[in-house]
Amino acid sequence: MTGPQALSLKLDDQLCFALYSASNALKKVYRPALTHLGLTYPQYLVMMVLWERDSQRVSEIGERLFLDSATLTPLLKRMETMALVSRVRAVEDERQVIVSLTDKGKALRDDAGVAPMEAFQATGCTPEELIALRDQLKSLRADLMSHAGE
């Protein structure tokens, strides 16, 4: 059977649950390395954005991570308390907040490569398989966001 009548309400048949549970499993693999770094998974994502390009507006970080400022601001405040980032108001527009890495935040990058390597090894996939899967997921995300009007 194909089409809408073939859609099941069984949990294990749901794409959303497959993505959700795979994401949770991946975070569990990352957890030991991130604990060693003193980071949560969302904090790690922020750090990766800033390691790619330092000194970004909160809105830019949010766009990159698909997070709104109400979610991101408490996370950034905590990271500032940890001395990983600094937050300053932009001179040209005080409504904008610029987030920059501290020396401690920059230094953390040297140890961060362990996390993705452990995750890669845990998948049992070849690099080519992971690249193909990642690209399919990016395409799926774009299609879903387009459908949602974003």
Domain count of the fold of the chain: 1
DSSP string, 76-122: HHHHHHTTSEEEEE-SS-TT-EEEEE-HHHHHHHHHHTHHHHHHHHH
Q: Is residue 85 part of a domain?
A: yes
Q: Is residue 6 part of a domain?
A: no
| Whole-number pLDDT of residue 4 | 55
**How far apart (Å, rounded) are the C-alpha atoms in residues 57 and 99?**
6
pTM reported for the whole predicted model: 0.90
Residue 142 has pLDDT above 60, yes or no: yes
Note the pLDDT tens digit of each residue in 51-75.
999 999 999 999 999 999 999 999 9
Q: Is residue 5 part of a domain?
A: no
| Whole-number pLDDT of residue 6 | 64
Q: Is residue 37 part of a domain?
A: yes
Q: Is residue 7 part of a domain?
A: no
Q: Is residue 9 part of a domain?
A: no
In this structure, what CATH number is given to the domain that contains residue 116? 1.10.10.10
Q: Is residue 8 part of a domain?
A: no
Q: Per-residue confidence at 2, pLDDT binned at 50, 70, 90?
A: low
Domain limits for position 124: 14-147
